[in-house]
Amino acid sequence: MRLFGGIPVFLTAGGLVSAQFQKPLSNAHDDAKFNVREQSPDLCDAGSRYWTGTVNITEEKSMFFWYFQSRNKPDTDPLLLWMSGGPGATGELGCFIGTGPCAVNPDGNSTRRLEYSWTDHANVIYIDQPIGIGFSEIANRDDIAVSLEEGARDIYSFLSTLSTDVFPEFSGRPWHITGESMGGHYVTGYTKYIMNLEQERAARGLNPRINVSSAVIVDGYIDASYQSSGYYDFFCTNWDPVSDSRTAPLMNETACSEMAAAVPTCELMGAHCRESYNPKLCLSMMDTCERTVGKYFTEETRPGGWDPYDSRHSCEEPPLCSNFAHGETWEFFNQPWVQEKLGFSGLPFELIDFDTNNRWVKAEHLYLPVTRELTWLLDNTDVRILVINGNNDIIMQVVSRTVTIFSEANSYLLVTLLGKCDCWMRSLGKVKHNIEVKDIRTGFSNKAN
């Protein structure tokens, strides 16, 4: 798997900001649990009402969010929490370059409404997490969460306050926890943490605080040990899971032979990693597999080579390549008038916080799989799991995602949708092979057989 860990970019967030209310949903609390404001179409003509705000997790840190009501039936449509990957990618990346209702114009100073969005049929909340990235601020950056357990505590506190104090109408409604890329870890780990706490509350006769109905993983990082064989299958066997057919290899015979020879060792080390959950063993596995199999992928991620996020395009500027090179979005969120509307001033905003990314890499928890957590959810809860994978994504290929889940889970309450998106993560209402939003909503409301 390719992460952003080796890039020497270090960012510093500003101090905590207390936003002033524009259109408060409720009176300000004496303990300043949250700040929220309804936004106007000049920031984003979303086609529905929407709010931005912060929830204070402690006196030292706050989590920033966008809440977009559904364009359809906000009172009854699903309630989604969206997390971008990275680690260190902001909710703004997912919202304005991914699944949200608006995109930034080339001038970097305005936005436009998108025809297709997840908000067509869902209420979606985008967040900047782990706290310390984007507009989510922390007093001491050494306290940034660098493990799933640390991040999960903040998420649980955020959702509890959001449902109780900020938007009381959320209370009791089912949540769909969603995320992409590193979100495979976030979604799985955070959902398990929440369900553990809720089961403990139920055992004490207490009502649930957070009702999780499903977990949705999009092009997700679940288990790095399957990435090597995934690279080999992608480049050398070139299996198309939609047509269940194979085409000519994308790499030459020499490279494919060397990759094939290295895959068994990677798979054996991966098995030891999964069995032990030992960070040192998993790190050793990652290092070995990156040097033997992953190097061929790395060599191709260069100007004129493969775009790792969409193999149909070439890479213009590594490591993020064309699909992430959205300077206009970065420029927009650093505009003084935009930050003023969001309740900030002079905050050095970045779409991806590489300082946070490097902290996760150094902490080594990053290399652990989440197969145990995913299996636990499938076997011990009623949470439904929906996995979506674009088969042009090289980093998070379909093959490795499918192998990961079906080799580990004992209960198959899971749907895998395979489709070629017309553009990166854009609109599940506009994909080939007749996979539409209504199919995604079926995944939310029905168990897979």
Model confidence pLDDT, tens digit, residues 382-415: 999 988 876 666 665 544 444 444 334 333 333 3
**Does 432 have pLDDT greater than 70?**
no
Q: How many CA atoms lie less than 13 Å away from 290 in the CB half-sphere?
A: 13
**Does 76 have pLDDT greater than 50?**
yes
Q: In the beta sheet, which residues pair with residue 53?
A: 36, 65
Q: Is residue 288 part of a domain?
A: no
**Whether 235 contacts 248, CB under 8 Å:** no
What does the pLDDT look like over 338-378, one tens digit per residue? 999 999 999 999 999 999 999 998 887 888 999 899 999 99
**Whether 342 contacts 19, CB under 8 Å:** yes
Please name which of 219, 202, 220, 203 lies closest in space to residue 211, comparing C-alpha atoms: 202
**Does 8 have pLDDT greater than 60?**
no
Q: Is residue 237 part of a domain?
A: no
Q: What is the pLDDT of residue 396?
A: 58
Q: What is the pLDDT of residue 298?
A: 72
Q: Is residue 250 part of a domain?
A: no
Domain residues for the domain of 167 are: 34-224+318-445
**Does 445 have pLDDT greater than 50?**
no
- pLDDT band of residue 241 (cuts 50, 70, 90) is low
- pLDDT band of residue 319 (cuts 50, 70, 90) is low
Q: Is residue 166 part of a domain?
A: yes
Q: How far is CA 24 from the centre of its chain?
A: 29
In this structure, how many other beta carbons lie within 10 angstroms of the beta carbon of residue 206? Answer: 10
Q: What is the pLDDT of residue 245?
A: 63
Q: What is the pLDDT of residue 413?
A: 32
First to last CA, the chain: 30
In this structure, how many other beta carbons lie within 10 angstroms of the beta carbon of residue 8? Answer: 7
Q: Is residue 265 part of a domain?
A: no
As a whole number, mean pLDDT of residues 175-192 equals 94
DSSP 3-state assignment of 397? Answer: coil
| Percent of the chain topping pLDDT 70 | 72
Q: What is the pLDDT of residue 234?
A: 77
Q: Return the minimum-mean-pLDDT range out of 118-127, 245-254, 282-291, 340-349.
A: 245-254
**Whether 176 contacts 80, CB under 8 Å:** yes
Q: How many CA atoms lie less than 13 Å away from 23 in the CB half-sphere?
A: 8
Q: What is the pLDDT of residue 329?
A: 93
Cα separation, 371 vs 339, whole angstroms? 39
Q: In total, how many domains does the chain have?
A: 1
Q: Is residue 417 part of a domain?
A: yes
Please name which of 185, 250, 187, 223 lies closest in space to residue 401, comparing C-alpha atoms: 223
- pLDDT band of residue 224 (cuts 50, 70, 90) is confident
Q: Is the peptide bond before 318 cis (omega within 30 degrees of 0)?
A: no
Please name which of 285, 259, 280, 260 lies closest in space to residue 270, comparing C-alpha atoms: 285
Q: Is residue 252 part of a domain?
A: no
**Whether 184 contacts 222, CB under 8 Å:** yes
Q: Is residue 9 part of a domain?
A: no
What value does the mean pLDDT of the chain take? 78
Q: What is the pLDDT of residue 306?
A: 67
Query: In this structure, what CATH number is given to the domain that contains residue 377?
Result: 3.40.50.1820
